[in-house]
Each structure stands twice: as structure tokens, then as C-alpha cells.
Chains A and B, each alone.
Chain A
Amino acid sequence: MTRYASVLDLIGTTPIVDVSALSPKPNVTILAKLEGRNPAGSVKDRVALSLVEAAERDGVLIVGKPDQVLIEPSSGNTGIALAMVCRLRGYHLKVVLPSNVSPERRQLLLAWGAEIIDSPGTQGSNGAVRLAQRLSAEHPEWVFLYQYANPANPMVHYTTTGPEILADVPEITHFVAGLGTSGTLMGVGRYLKERRPDVQLWAIEPPSGEMVDGLRSLDDGFIPPIFTDNHGAQLLDRKVVVRPRESIEWTRRLTEVGLFVGLSSGAIMSGAVKCANTIGDDDEATIVTIVCDDGWKYLSTGAWSDDIDDVIERSKKIIYF
């Protein structure tokens, strides 16, 4: 077994597993890249380390200097990953978190020593972003890495996730991933398109727009600057929205191939199956999809055990996706 100097060296180089037993077509292979294997438990470990290292290179953060404070909006994985990295580096992290996230996320943040600032639950992640922007403007001494706009977010996927996928799956025809900050799709997508222009990029959107009741008007909407900066609308080939029911159904079905995953990954798998259904019977296709994290943080949702209608109803009040 390889020996590592730091847990941060365990980030990335994640395995890919064949989940074609769930493919609706025998001529379509579906492969899942298991990002839950990262040490803090999600694909966001890559992003968190990349954001911090870029800030250190730029002199925005200085290793060993006391009393350095970071602020970041997150409803889960980025906050948790950043909290782990900050703990190791000695930075104090304030995470702006919608008040209605699942209790596991809150506890993980506290476990890593982060401070939580609550934002209104009815405004979802939008509200967390706006509050973090306001607090950062009021406290220019705090470091605001802003995952939604920081080029170090897509860059780490361009330099690590993308090359890992192409090295392991040179026959890839489709890449299917979730659209959050858009960092994964922009970074991996650009890397793949530059080398395999025929690869189709599918973005899977969780049903956040349905869940967020706190918008006053459409002008309160939000598009991640990363998406615009990387010409996302031109880069992507398809974008589909996945409903809570499909997400939970596919989260459950993934246990048939031995994968216990978070609900966003169920949504993305549902999108991969939609993608597979568009392939002609005489065509071969290889879809690579992302499992963002494992299921542990979502146990309180009852997603695997409770009546699915009850879980869907609960998902309107608590941010699961």
C-alpha cells in the first residue's frame, strides 16, 4: 500500500466502476467515477484544495500567519471540504449555510472546526451566496474565495478530473455531470472537447428552482460566473432537469450495483440513463458519470428506507440536492 505524507495527497485519482447493469440498453456502457472516495467525502475536496492553493500562490493567504479568516457560501460539500483543508492549514473558516440543510452537513462542518453563519432556508443556496457577498463586502479583511466565480474551481477539473477520465476511459462518448457551480462540467468538459470534440456533454440540473420559494422575482436569479466565463451555453450539448422522485429512485437503484451515494448522484445517474435512452440500438456508447459523494450525509432524509412520497415531501423543506 502506498504511504502518503498528508491526507491532502489522497485527494483525486478516484476509481471508476462499471455500472452498466443499470443501463437501459445493452449497447451503452455506463461508468461512474467515485468522488466520494476523496478524504473529506466528495468531489469538492479537489475544488477546496485548489481554491486554497491558488490563494496561497497569489499571497492572499499566507501559511502560518495567525488569524486569517475565510468566508464561503455553501450548502454542503464545498464547505465541508474547505473546512478540512482550513483545519490542516490553520485558517478560520466561516461557512454561510442555508438554515434548512440536513443535520449531517451541519455536524460535519462543526467537526472540522468551521463556524456556521445561517442564511434564510427559503432562499436556498441563492440566499447563502448573497449573504456571503454582503458579509465579505463589510469585512474586506476576510478572504472570500467564492467558488462560483473562482477560475481555480474549473481549473482543477481541467488539470486532474478530466485527464483521469480520459486516461481510464479513452473510448468515452458522453460525459454526464451535475450543474452546481458548473466547475466540474466546465473543467472536464473543456479538457475533453479539446481532445475529443465529438464527446457529448450533458448537464444535469437538480430541481432547485422548484424548491426555492424565497425569490421575489426572476431578477433574483443566479448564473454562476464560471458558467458564463467559460461560455457554458456553447460548451454544453444538452441540459436536463431531474425531479426529486427520479433522483431518489435512482439513488436507491444504485445500491443494486453496490453504490451507496448522495441524492445528487442519484439525480445524475437518472440523467445518465436518459442519455443512454437517446442512443440508437445500432450505436455503441460509453457514458462517464460522476458520483459526487456517498450516502452517509443523507441518512436523515430516509431516502433509502421511508415511503418515497414522504421523502419527496420532506425534500421540499430540507435541502437534499
Chain B
Amino acid sequence: MTASVRIPTVLRPAMGGDATVAVEGETIGEILGRLTTRHPAVKAQLLNDDGSLHRFLNVYVNDDDVRYLGGLEAPVANGDEITLLPAVAGGSL
């Protein structure tokens, strides 16, 4: 399965500068694993030491937050769009 991963501005310098990269994997865990293998410097920004998702990283499969779809086990289908976004304070509050 090949998914398209959108990289947020804050992570681009450590990930080659591209806004979007193609990554293969059956689950979100596999996708993030491949990304950190390609860009070891970014590993601490994506995953905690125990391998769980960084608390300030939100990962979406086709706009759905994976924390509510099984977390790192959430399945990925061919052509899915995965978005990485930092957790920040919202807008018009």
C-alpha cells in the first residue's frame, strides 16, 4: 500500500523539505516507522521512546484522527492521504 503523507511546516526541515512524500505501509505504525528510518533526526518528533505517538502530534488518515481508529494499528489503504499536524491551540476561541 502506498500512501501520500503531508508533512507540516515545522517538520519539513528535518524531512528533506518536501510538503508531501509517498510512503509504503499497511498501518500507521509502519508508515511512521519508514519515515523515521529515512529521517532518523525526526524520530523524537514523531514517536515517544516507548514507540507511541508523540503527544503533540496528530495523525489523520483521510482527515480522521488515528487515535480514534486504533492508533498505530490503524489500517492504511492504497492511495490514502495521511496528514501529520502539530497539536496547537485552536483558532477563534
Q: Which residues of A contact B88 (CB under 8 A)?
A: 124-126, 208-209, 212, 215, 221-222
Nearest CB in chain A: distance from B38 CB, A: 18
Report the contact-size class of chain B (Cβ under 8 Å from the partner). 20 to 34
Q: What mask results when residues 6 to 38 of chain B are scored 1 for a CB within 8 Å of chain A, else 0?
A: 001111000000000000000000000000000
Judge whether A209 and B89 touch: CB under 8 Å: no
Interface membership of A144, Cβ < 8 A: no
Q: What mask results when residues 139 to 151 of chain A are scored 1 for a CB within 8 Å of chain B, else 0?
A: 0000000011000
Judge whether A221 and B91 touch: CB under 8 Å: no
Q: Which residues of A contact B56 (CB under 8 A)?
A: 218-223
Q: CB < 8 Å: which of B45, B58, B68, B87 contacts A237?
A: B68
Judge whether A321 and B91 touch: CB under 8 Å: yes
Chain A residue with Cβ nearest B89: A125
Q: Which residues of A contact B10 (CB under 8 A)?
A: 213, 215-218, 220
Q: Which residues of B contact A216 (CB under 8 A)?
A: 10
Q: CB < 8 Å: which of B8, B64, B86 contacts A238?
A: B64
Judge whether B85 and A210 touch: CB under 8 Å: yes
Assembly CA distance A144 to B90 (angstroms)? 19
Assembly CA distance A125 to B60 (angstroms)? 22
Assembly CA distance A160 to B59 (angstroms)? 33
Interface membership of A181, Cβ < 8 A: yes
Interface membership of A154, Cβ < 8 A: no
Assembly CA distance A126 to B90 (angstroms)? 8
Q: Contact residues of A with B, CB < 8 Å?
A: 44, 73-78, 105, 124-126, 128-129, 147-148, 178-181, 205-213, 215-224, 233, 236-243, 262-264, 274, 292-293, 319-321
8 contacts between A and B (CB under 8 A): A124-B88, A181-B93, A208-B91, A211-B91, A222-B56, A223-B55, A292-B92, A320-B92
Q: Which 6 A-B pairs have the closest CB atoms?
A: A221-B56, A209-B85, A125-B89, A321-B91, A239-B65, A180-B90
Q: Contact residues of B with A, CB < 8 Å?
A: 8-11, 45, 54-58, 60, 63-65, 67-68, 83, 85-93
Given contacts A220-B86, A292-B92, 15 further A-B pairs with CB under 8 A are A78-B93, A124-B88, A179-B90, A208-B90, A212-B88, A215-B88, A218-B11, A221-B56, A221-B86, A222-B87, A222-B89, A238-B65, A240-B64, A241-B60, A241-B83
